[in-house]
């Protein structure tokens, strides 16, 4: 038996990266999934590959009609709604604060925060009526500590964390759980998009390169993979986490834990050598 047998989920940004890994894992665990994304070719191919357990729907998460439509499609196509994973995202506008255009701020917030809000808003009445459900959103370590992402991205992810906690306090009384995941350095095409290689094979090559570049940034000496976040989402979507709500789940290999032990020891030895102290 799968952990999600009989359940139905909507996964935004489900055509690539973390979203695609989560779609595949959820289907393996018995879930039927609505893949909501802007990448029509990738989304349609993924749905075709997964057969009757998945369907693809074009959706821009910054547009309320698209989000409400994806959630309604889950109910009409599969007959129910058990999980919404607000995962769609992008690096958004970048640069020093004085150079960021207001329209770039609005567009970034539209995807990263408004999209999450809309997913929660339109899942809530369905899940409240049925007395159960799991709403999951992708936040980031950049929403917990400064220095891990661009300014607006970081602010949006911090807002996702707090919105998660706030909405969990409302919906928990109706049996609905609301949590988010804070990934660390995950090797996905989003890094390619950040340097202007969005959507093409260059972005995929950047994702492969990031596996090497991210491997030594945290105590667990490998890059995070989309599958690591998918497994966290599976736990939050399943009954295994039935007593967990309002939680920001860190999946970062220890990145935000502090300075690595080896770095501390190397600095200690440098100081001893500078002072002329022996071993």
Residue 56 annotated to the active site:
no
Closest CA to 88 of 124, 57, 69, 113: 113
Q: Is the dihedral of CA 248, 252, 253, 259 positive or negative?
A: negative
Q: Which residues contact 269 (CB under 8 A, 6 or more apart)?
A: none
Residue keyed to tokens 């779609």:
23
Element (H, E) at 251: strand 248-251
Kindly give the residue spans of alpha helices, DSSP state H, lying in 14-57: 17-28, 40-50
Query: How far apart are alpha carbons 14 and 37 in whole angstroms?
Result: 6
Catalytic residue among 11, 153, 181, 186: 153
Residues identified as active-site:
153
């Amino acid at each position: 038996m799968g952990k999600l047998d009989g359940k139905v989920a909507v996964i935004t940004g489900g055509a690539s990266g973390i979203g695609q890994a989560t779609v595949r894992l959820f289907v393996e665990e018995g879930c039927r999934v609505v893949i909501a994304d802007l990448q029509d070719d990738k989304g349609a191919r993924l749905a075709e590959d997964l057969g009757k357990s998945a369907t693809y729907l074009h959706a821009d998460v910054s547009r309320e009609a698209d989000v409400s439509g994806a959630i309604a499609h889950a109910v009409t196509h599969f007959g129910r709604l058990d999980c919404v994973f607000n995962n769609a995202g992008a690096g958004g506008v970048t640069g020093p604060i004085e150079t960021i255009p207001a329209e770039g701020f609005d567009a970034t917030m539209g995807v990263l925060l408004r999209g999450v809000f809309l997913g929660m808003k339109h899942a809530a009445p369905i899940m409240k009526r049925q007395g159960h459900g799991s709403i999951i959103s992708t936040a980031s370590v950049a929403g917990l500590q400064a220095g891990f992402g661009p300014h607006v991205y970081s602010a949006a992810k911090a807002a996702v964390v707090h919105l998660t906690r706030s909405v969990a306090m409302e919906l928990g009384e109706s049996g609905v759980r609301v949590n988010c995941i804070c990934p660390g350095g995950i090797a996905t095409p989003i890094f390619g998009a950040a340097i202007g290689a969005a959507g093409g094979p260059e972005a995929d090559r950047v994702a492969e390169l990031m596996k090497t570049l991210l491997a030594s940034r945290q105590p667990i000496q490998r890059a995070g993979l989309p599958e690591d976040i998918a497994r966290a989402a599976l736990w939050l979507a399943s009954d295994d986490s039935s007593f967990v709500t309002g939680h920001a789940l860190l999946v970062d290999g220890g990145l935000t834990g502090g300075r690595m032990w080896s770095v501390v020891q190397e600095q200690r030895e440098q100081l001893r050598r500078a002072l002329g102290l022996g071993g």
